Amino acid sequence: MSYTTKPSKHVNETVLVLCNQCHLKTKHSIVAAIDFHGEDDEGDTQVWGSAQVIQCRGCEEIGFRYVYTWSEEREIENETLYPERIAKSKSLADDLYLRDDLYDVPDIIRVVYRETLSAVEHELPTLAGIGIRAVIEAICHHLKAKENNLQAKIEGLANRSLLTPDGARILHSIRELGNYAAHEMKAPSKKQITAALKAIDHLLLGVYVLPEEAKVLPKPRKRRPKKKTTRGSGTGGTAP
């Protein structure tokens, strides 16, 4: 088999693959690549593909992706990842919204969030409960809540309209969940962990992810105020 190569058109594209570090399917950037074409001496068998260096947009882990198609099965694209990925069994974290979009979340929050997911995936519910509370602490810290304790910080965010009243009540419930785990060593249930993380996901989506993605949308036009008209008599006089 002889090969010819050329600069790849796929550089800077984004692909969704299983991350070796996150153990989840995450968005990866193709940071370097070459495209290739190979054929045997008779020209009966040909292969087209791309060899790519990829980087997770969440944890920034570097890996290698090799995609190719054979002339005998041109409708099938084969993919090989290095290091070899070993898919983990489905966990609670697989049902979350933000597993692929954490690159829009500030570092101080992303680190604690990922550590909490790791506790969930390794079935450590007490540590997961503590981590869930720590995520809220990290959010309050990033949003510059100045109050003395987490309960007051949540109320402060609500007073600044960064939380709705319902959102504040949910965060207080999550805070209590974390308190039970941290102070009483009472592990939350799987349903409680899932509900808490989904609520946190909604908060992170609303505060960080969606505003960033919405920047591509056109800005709303300002409506011009309508001019007030005065009914006249039709002869230039004033209305009665």
Give the pairing of strands 78-82 and 62-70.
antiparallel
- Domain ranges (residues) in the chain: 2-82, 92-213
Question: Is the entire prediction scored with pTM above 0.85?
Answer: no
pLDDT tens per residue, range 175-224: 999 999 989 889 999 889 989 998 998 888 888 888 877 888 888 777 77
pLDDT tens per residue, range 61-95: 999 999 999 887 777 889 999 988 765 545 555 55
Using alpha carbons, list the distances in angstroms from residue 134 to 39, 66, 112, 141, 211.
56, 39, 7, 10, 23
pLDDT tens per residue, range 128-142: 999 999 999 999 999
Report the SS3 class of residue 229.
Answer: coil
